[in-house]
Amino acid sequence: MVELRVPVTDPVIARQTVRDDYTIDQVWEEYTAAEHGVWKTLFDRQTKMLGGRAAQEFYDGLEVLKLERDGIPDFRRVNERLSKLTGWTLVAVPGLIPDDAFFTHLANRRFPVGRFIRKPEELDYLQEPDIFHDVYGHVPLLALPVFADYMAAYGRGGLRAMKFDTLENITRLYWYTVEFGLIGAADDLRIYGAGIVSSYAESIFSLDGRSPNRVGFDLERIMRTQYRYDDFQQTYFVIDSFEQLFEATQQDFAPIYARIKGAEDIPARATLPADRVIHAGTQEYADKGGRYKNAPRV
Ligand code: HBI
Ligand code: FE
Protein backbone atom coordinates (compact mmCIF):
# COMPACT_ATOMS: atom_id res chain seq x y z
CA MET A 1 0.00 0.00 0.00
CA VAL A 2 1.45 3.34 -1.00
CA GLU A 3 0.80 6.83 0.24
CA LEU A 4 -1.18 9.01 -2.19
CA ARG A 5 -0.12 12.59 -2.78
CA VAL A 6 -3.61 13.82 -3.63
CA PRO A 7 -6.98 13.85 -1.90
CA VAL A 8 -9.18 11.22 -3.52
CA THR A 9 -12.70 12.30 -4.39
CA ASP A 10 -13.40 9.34 -6.69
CA PRO A 11 -15.05 6.66 -4.48
CA VAL A 12 -13.90 3.82 -6.74
CA ILE A 13 -10.30 4.96 -6.20
CA ALA A 14 -10.79 5.66 -2.49
CA ARG A 15 -11.87 2.11 -1.65
CA GLN A 16 -8.97 0.44 -3.47
CA THR A 17 -5.57 -0.57 -2.21
CA VAL A 18 -3.04 1.05 -4.52
CA ARG A 19 -0.44 -1.44 -5.75
CA ASP A 20 3.29 -0.88 -5.34
CA ASP A 21 3.54 0.24 -8.97
CA TYR A 22 0.77 2.79 -8.25
CA THR A 23 -1.80 1.02 -10.42
CA ILE A 24 -5.40 0.35 -9.43
CA ASP A 25 -8.32 -1.28 -11.24
CA GLN A 26 -10.33 0.86 -13.63
CA VAL A 27 -13.66 -0.84 -12.71
CA TRP A 28 -15.26 0.52 -15.86
CA GLU A 29 -18.73 -0.76 -14.89
CA GLU A 30 -18.87 1.74 -12.07
CA TYR A 31 -18.59 4.97 -14.01
CA THR A 32 -21.86 6.85 -13.53
CA ALA A 33 -24.05 8.24 -16.30
CA ALA A 34 -22.97 11.72 -15.23
CA GLU A 35 -19.29 10.77 -15.63
CA HIS A 36 -19.90 9.34 -19.10
CA GLY A 37 -21.78 12.58 -19.82
CA VAL A 38 -18.72 14.70 -18.98
CA TRP A 39 -16.66 12.58 -21.40
CA LYS A 40 -19.24 13.09 -24.17
CA THR A 41 -19.37 16.83 -23.62
CA LEU A 42 -15.59 17.16 -23.69
CA PHE A 43 -15.14 14.78 -26.62
CA ASP A 44 -17.70 16.59 -28.79
CA ARG A 45 -16.55 20.07 -27.90
CA GLN A 46 -12.90 19.31 -28.43
CA THR A 47 -13.28 17.32 -31.65
CA LYS A 48 -15.46 20.03 -33.23
CA MET A 49 -13.13 22.79 -32.17
CA LEU A 50 -9.98 20.96 -33.32
CA GLY A 51 -11.32 20.65 -36.86
CA GLY A 52 -8.19 20.41 -38.96
CA ARG A 53 -5.92 21.71 -36.23
CA ALA A 54 -4.52 18.38 -35.01
CA ALA A 55 -1.99 16.16 -36.79
CA GLN A 56 -3.57 13.58 -39.10
CA GLU A 57 -1.94 10.82 -37.03
CA PHE A 58 -4.00 11.98 -34.04
CA TYR A 59 -7.28 11.49 -35.92
CA ASP A 60 -6.04 8.16 -37.30
CA GLY A 61 -5.30 7.03 -33.73
CA LEU A 62 -8.76 8.00 -32.45
CA GLU A 63 -10.26 5.96 -35.26
CA VAL A 64 -8.13 2.84 -35.14
CA LEU A 65 -8.52 2.62 -31.33
CA LYS A 66 -12.25 3.33 -31.61
CA LEU A 67 -12.07 6.14 -29.08
CA GLU A 68 -15.51 7.61 -29.45
CA ARG A 69 -17.88 10.15 -28.02
CA ASP A 70 -20.25 7.56 -26.48
CA GLY A 71 -18.58 7.39 -23.11
CA ILE A 72 -15.46 6.76 -21.05
CA PRO A 73 -13.45 4.00 -22.75
CA ASP A 74 -12.99 0.61 -21.17
CA PHE A 75 -9.21 -0.02 -21.00
CA ARG A 76 -9.73 -3.73 -21.68
CA ARG A 77 -11.20 -2.93 -25.09
CA VAL A 78 -8.65 -0.24 -25.94
CA ASN A 79 -5.80 -2.54 -24.89
CA GLU A 80 -6.92 -5.32 -27.24
CA ARG A 81 -6.34 -3.01 -30.19
CA LEU A 82 -3.45 -0.92 -28.87
CA SER A 83 -1.30 -3.84 -27.75
CA LYS A 84 -1.55 -5.41 -31.21
CA LEU A 85 -0.52 -2.17 -32.92
CA THR A 86 2.44 -1.03 -30.82
CA GLY A 87 2.73 -3.20 -27.70
CA TRP A 88 1.41 -0.44 -25.42
CA THR A 89 -1.32 -0.92 -22.80
CA LEU A 90 -3.20 1.49 -20.55
CA VAL A 91 -3.11 1.04 -16.77
CA ALA A 92 -5.30 2.90 -14.30
CA VAL A 93 -3.69 5.07 -11.60
CA PRO A 94 -5.19 7.33 -8.93
CA GLY A 95 -3.65 10.55 -10.32
CA LEU A 96 -0.12 11.93 -10.49
CA ILE A 97 2.37 9.26 -9.49
CA PRO A 98 6.06 9.63 -8.55
CA ASP A 99 8.51 10.21 -11.39
CA ASP A 100 10.35 6.89 -11.08
CA ALA A 101 7.09 4.90 -11.16
CA PHE A 102 5.88 6.96 -14.13
CA PHE A 103 9.11 6.44 -16.10
CA THR A 104 9.16 2.71 -15.29
CA HIS A 105 5.67 2.30 -16.73
CA LEU A 106 6.59 4.18 -19.92
CA ALA A 107 9.81 2.21 -20.37
CA ASN A 108 7.67 -0.94 -20.25
CA ARG A 109 5.08 0.43 -22.68
CA ARG A 110 2.39 0.96 -20.08
CA PHE A 111 0.68 4.33 -20.10
CA PRO A 112 -0.64 5.41 -16.66
CA VAL A 113 -4.11 6.94 -16.93
CA GLY A 114 -5.91 8.75 -14.11
CA ARG A 115 -9.11 6.78 -13.44
CA PHE A 116 -11.20 9.80 -12.52
CA ILE A 117 -12.89 12.37 -14.72
CA ARG A 118 -13.19 16.08 -13.98
CA LYS A 119 -16.43 17.48 -12.54
CA PRO A 120 -18.92 19.27 -14.81
CA GLU A 121 -18.01 22.57 -13.12
CA GLU A 122 -14.30 22.23 -13.97
CA LEU A 123 -14.46 21.42 -17.66
CA ASP A 124 -11.79 23.95 -18.60
CA TYR A 125 -9.23 23.73 -15.89
CA LEU A 126 -7.85 21.12 -13.59
CA GLN A 127 -4.50 20.60 -11.96
CA GLU A 128 -4.28 16.81 -12.24
CA PRO A 129 -4.33 14.81 -15.44
CA ASP A 130 -7.74 13.08 -15.59
CA ILE A 131 -8.95 10.33 -17.90
CA PHE A 132 -10.02 12.78 -20.59
CA HIS A 133 -6.60 14.43 -20.79
CA ASP A 134 -4.78 11.11 -20.54
CA VAL A 135 -6.86 9.14 -23.05
CA TYR A 136 -8.04 11.74 -25.55
CA GLY A 137 -4.78 13.69 -25.34
CA HIS A 138 -2.12 10.99 -25.12
CA VAL A 139 -3.47 7.68 -26.34
CA PRO A 140 -4.22 8.28 -30.07
CA LEU A 141 -0.53 8.77 -30.89
CA LEU A 142 0.43 5.62 -28.97
CA ALA A 143 -1.11 3.77 -31.92
CA LEU A 144 1.60 5.24 -34.18
CA PRO A 145 4.71 3.00 -34.05
CA VAL A 146 7.33 5.76 -34.24
CA PHE A 147 5.64 7.81 -31.52
CA ALA A 148 5.11 4.68 -29.41
CA ASP A 149 8.86 4.06 -29.66
CA TYR A 150 9.60 7.67 -28.70
CA MET A 151 7.49 7.38 -25.54
CA ALA A 152 9.22 4.17 -24.47
CA ALA A 153 12.63 5.76 -25.14
CA TYR A 154 11.53 8.71 -23.04
CA GLY A 155 10.71 6.39 -20.13
CA ARG A 156 14.19 4.84 -20.31
CA GLY A 157 15.72 8.30 -20.64
CA GLY A 158 13.79 9.49 -17.60
CA LEU A 159 15.16 6.70 -15.44
CA ARG A 160 18.68 7.53 -16.63
CA ALA A 161 18.15 11.25 -16.06
CA MET A 162 17.30 10.54 -12.41
CA LYS A 163 20.79 9.05 -12.04
CA PHE A 164 22.41 12.00 -13.81
CA ASP A 165 20.41 14.45 -11.68
CA THR A 166 18.98 16.00 -14.85
CA LEU A 167 15.33 15.26 -14.24
CA GLU A 168 14.38 18.88 -14.86
CA ASN A 169 16.00 18.78 -18.31
CA ILE A 170 14.30 15.59 -19.43
CA THR A 171 10.97 16.84 -18.07
CA ARG A 172 11.30 19.90 -20.30
CA LEU A 173 11.69 17.59 -23.28
CA TYR A 174 8.44 15.82 -22.37
CA TRP A 175 6.69 19.09 -21.73
CA TYR A 176 7.68 20.75 -25.02
CA THR A 177 7.03 17.66 -27.15
CA VAL A 178 4.57 15.11 -25.72
CA GLU A 179 2.49 17.73 -23.91
CA PHE A 180 2.84 20.93 -25.95
CA GLY A 181 4.36 19.98 -29.30
CA LEU A 182 3.44 21.29 -32.75
CA ILE A 183 4.29 19.59 -36.05
CA GLY A 184 4.54 20.59 -39.69
CA ALA A 185 5.67 23.26 -42.08
CA ALA A 186 5.27 26.99 -41.39
CA ASP A 187 2.24 27.20 -43.69
CA ASP A 188 0.60 24.04 -42.29
CA LEU A 189 1.20 23.77 -38.57
CA ARG A 190 -0.71 21.15 -36.60
CA ILE A 191 -1.02 20.20 -32.96
CA TYR A 192 0.18 16.89 -31.55
CA GLY A 193 0.83 17.72 -27.87
CA ALA A 194 -1.63 16.13 -25.44
CA GLY A 195 -1.86 19.20 -23.22
CA ILE A 196 -2.98 21.20 -26.23
CA VAL A 197 -5.36 18.76 -27.95
CA SER A 198 -7.21 18.24 -24.67
CA SER A 199 -7.54 22.00 -24.00
CA TYR A 200 -10.13 24.12 -25.77
CA ALA A 201 -8.43 27.46 -25.30
CA GLU A 202 -4.82 26.39 -25.83
CA SER A 203 -5.67 24.68 -29.13
CA ILE A 204 -6.41 28.12 -30.54
CA PHE A 205 -3.74 30.06 -28.65
CA SER A 206 -0.82 27.76 -29.55
CA LEU A 207 -1.53 27.59 -33.26
CA ASP A 208 -3.12 30.95 -34.12
CA GLY A 209 -2.13 33.24 -31.26
CA ARG A 210 0.07 36.29 -31.84
CA SER A 211 1.50 36.05 -28.36
CA PRO A 212 3.64 32.87 -28.20
CA ASN A 213 6.83 32.07 -30.14
CA ARG A 214 6.79 29.13 -32.52
CA VAL A 215 10.33 27.79 -33.01
CA GLY A 216 11.88 24.78 -34.75
CA PHE A 217 12.62 21.73 -32.56
CA ASP A 218 16.12 21.51 -31.05
CA LEU A 219 16.61 18.93 -28.30
CA GLU A 220 19.44 20.59 -26.42
CA ARG A 221 17.80 24.01 -26.64
CA ILE A 222 14.56 22.56 -25.25
CA MET A 223 16.38 20.90 -22.36
CA ARG A 224 17.64 24.32 -21.32
CA THR A 225 14.31 26.12 -21.63
CA GLN A 226 12.11 27.00 -18.66
CA TYR A 227 8.37 26.38 -19.03
CA ARG A 228 5.04 27.52 -17.68
CA TYR A 229 3.48 24.90 -15.50
CA ASP A 230 0.09 26.50 -14.88
CA ASP A 231 -0.53 28.69 -17.89
CA PHE A 232 -0.21 28.72 -21.68
CA GLN A 233 3.33 28.25 -22.96
CA GLN A 234 5.33 31.26 -24.11
CA THR A 235 7.15 29.20 -26.73
CA TYR A 236 5.99 26.16 -28.71
CA PHE A 237 8.52 23.94 -30.50
CA VAL A 238 7.74 22.59 -33.94
CA ILE A 239 8.93 19.22 -35.25
CA ASP A 240 9.12 18.39 -38.97
CA SER A 241 8.10 14.77 -38.42
CA PHE A 242 7.69 12.16 -35.70
CA GLU A 243 10.75 10.41 -37.12
CA GLN A 244 12.81 13.52 -36.32
CA LEU A 245 11.56 13.36 -32.73
CA PHE A 246 12.40 9.69 -32.28
CA GLU A 247 15.81 10.01 -33.94
CA ALA A 248 16.75 12.80 -31.53
CA THR A 249 16.50 10.26 -28.68
CA GLN A 250 18.86 7.81 -30.43
CA GLN A 251 22.02 9.37 -29.02
CA ASP A 252 23.82 9.36 -25.70
CA PHE A 253 22.45 12.25 -23.63
CA ALA A 254 25.48 12.23 -21.27
CA PRO A 255 27.53 14.76 -23.31
CA ILE A 256 24.44 16.95 -23.66
CA TYR A 257 23.86 16.86 -19.92
CA ALA A 258 27.53 17.71 -19.34
CA ARG A 259 27.22 20.78 -21.59
CA ILE A 260 23.95 22.07 -20.22
CA LYS A 261 25.01 21.69 -16.60
CA GLY A 262 27.40 24.57 -17.20
CA ALA A 263 24.99 26.62 -19.29
CA GLU A 264 22.33 29.05 -18.17
CA ASP A 265 18.63 28.30 -18.43
CA ILE A 266 16.78 29.92 -21.30
CA PRO A 267 13.73 31.96 -20.23
CA ALA A 268 10.38 30.65 -21.48
CA ARG A 269 9.78 33.78 -23.56
CA ALA A 270 13.15 34.01 -25.32
CA THR A 271 14.09 33.48 -28.94
CA LEU A 272 17.78 32.99 -29.71
CA PRO A 273 19.88 33.90 -32.76
CA ALA A 274 20.34 30.20 -33.54
CA ASP A 275 16.58 29.48 -33.45
CA ARG A 276 14.60 28.62 -36.55
CA VAL A 277 11.85 31.12 -35.78
CA ILE A 278 8.50 30.37 -37.41
CA HIS A 279 6.66 33.06 -35.47
CA ALA A 280 8.21 35.62 -33.14
CA GLY A 281 5.58 36.10 -30.46
CA THR A 282 4.47 39.46 -29.11
CA GLN A 283 4.25 37.92 -25.59
CA GLU A 284 1.30 40.23 -24.99
CA TYR A 285 -0.72 37.51 -23.26
CA ALA A 286 2.06 36.75 -20.74
CA ASP A 287 2.85 40.44 -20.31
CA LYS A 288 -0.74 41.11 -19.29
CA GLY A 289 -0.39 38.52 -16.54
CA GLY A 290 -1.69 35.45 -18.33
CA ARG A 291 -4.16 33.29 -16.45
CA TYR A 292 -5.56 30.29 -18.16
CA LYS A 293 -9.09 30.87 -16.91
CA ASN A 294 -9.38 34.20 -18.74
CA ALA A 295 -7.98 32.78 -21.93
CA PRO A 296 -8.13 35.11 -24.90
CA ARG A 297 -9.17 33.74 -28.27
CA VAL A 298 -5.93 34.83 -29.91
N1 HBI B 1 1.90 10.75 -13.25
N2 HBI B 1 -0.19 9.94 -13.73
C3 HBI B 1 0.87 10.68 -14.07
N4 HBI B 1 0.86 11.35 -15.24
C5 HBI B 1 1.91 12.12 -15.62
O6 HBI B 1 1.90 12.70 -16.71
C7 HBI B 1 3.01 12.22 -14.76
C8 HBI B 1 2.98 11.49 -13.56
N9 HBI B 1 4.02 11.57 -12.72
C10 HBI B 1 5.19 12.32 -13.04
C11 HBI B 1 5.11 13.06 -14.30
N12 HBI B 1 4.10 12.97 -15.09
C13 HBI B 1 6.20 14.00 -14.70
O14 HBI B 1 6.90 14.41 -13.59
C15 HBI B 1 7.14 13.42 -15.74
O16 HBI B 1 6.76 13.79 -17.03
C17 HBI B 1 8.52 13.91 -15.57
FE1 FE C 1 -0.25 14.64 -19.99
Give 191-213 pLDDT, tens digit per residue: 999 999 999 889 999 999 999 99
CA atoms of 210 and 286, how far apart (whole Å): 11
* CB of 21 shorter than 6 A to ligand 1: no
* Ligand 1, atom nearest to 22 Cα: 2
Which of 10, 99, 130 has most ligand 1 atoms within 8 Å of its beta carbon, as the pocket-test mutant?
99
Q: What is the pLDDT of residues 261-296, one digit of tens each?
A: 989 999 999 999 999 999 999 999 999 988 765 444
How many angstroms separate the alpha carbon of residue 235 from the centre of ligand 1? Answer: 21
| Spans of all domains in the chain | 11-287
* CB of 256 shorter than 6 A to ligand 1: no
Q: What is the mean pLDDT of residues 86-103?
A: 97
CB 215 within 8 A of CB 272: no
For residue 2, what pLDDT is reported? 62
* CB of 79 shorter than 6 A to ligand 1: no
Burial of 3 from C-beta contacts in 10 A (0-12 / 13-18 / 19+):
exposed
CA atoms of 161 and 19, how far apart (whole Å): 25
CB 223 within 8 A of CB 167: no
For residue 98, what pLDDT is reported? 96
- The residue whose CA is least distant from atom 7 of ligand 1 is 96
How many angstroms separate the alpha carbon of residue 151 from the centre of ligand 1? Answer: 13
Between the alpha carbon of residue 185 and those of residues 42, 50, 97, 190, the distances in Å are 29, 18, 36, 9
For residue 230, what pLDDT is reported? 83
- The C-alpha angle 129, 131, 132, rounded to 5 degrees, equals 90
Confidence of residue 126 (pLDDT cuts 50, 70, 90): confident
Q: What is the mean pLDDT of residues 32-36?
A: 97
- The C-alpha angle 169, 104, 259, rounded to 5 degrees, equals 20
Mean pLDDT of the chain: 93
**Any idea which of 3-7, 39-43, 165-169 has the lowest mean pLDDT?**
3-7
For residue 298, what pLDDT is reported? 35
CA atoms of 152 and 183, how far apart (whole Å): 20
* CB of 195 shorter than 6 A to ligand 1: no
- The residue whose CA is least distant from atom 16 of ligand 1 is 171
- CATH 1.10.10.10 assigned to domain 11-287? The reply is no
* Ligand 1, atom nearest to 114 Cα: 2
Q: Percentage of the chain surpassing pLDDT 70? A: 95
For residue 127, what pLDDT is reported? 74
Q: What is the pLDDT of residues 134-151, one digit of tens each?
A: 999 999 999 999 999 999
pTM: 0.95
Q: Any idea which ligand is nearest the CA of 111?
A: 1
For residue 255, what pLDDT is reported? 97
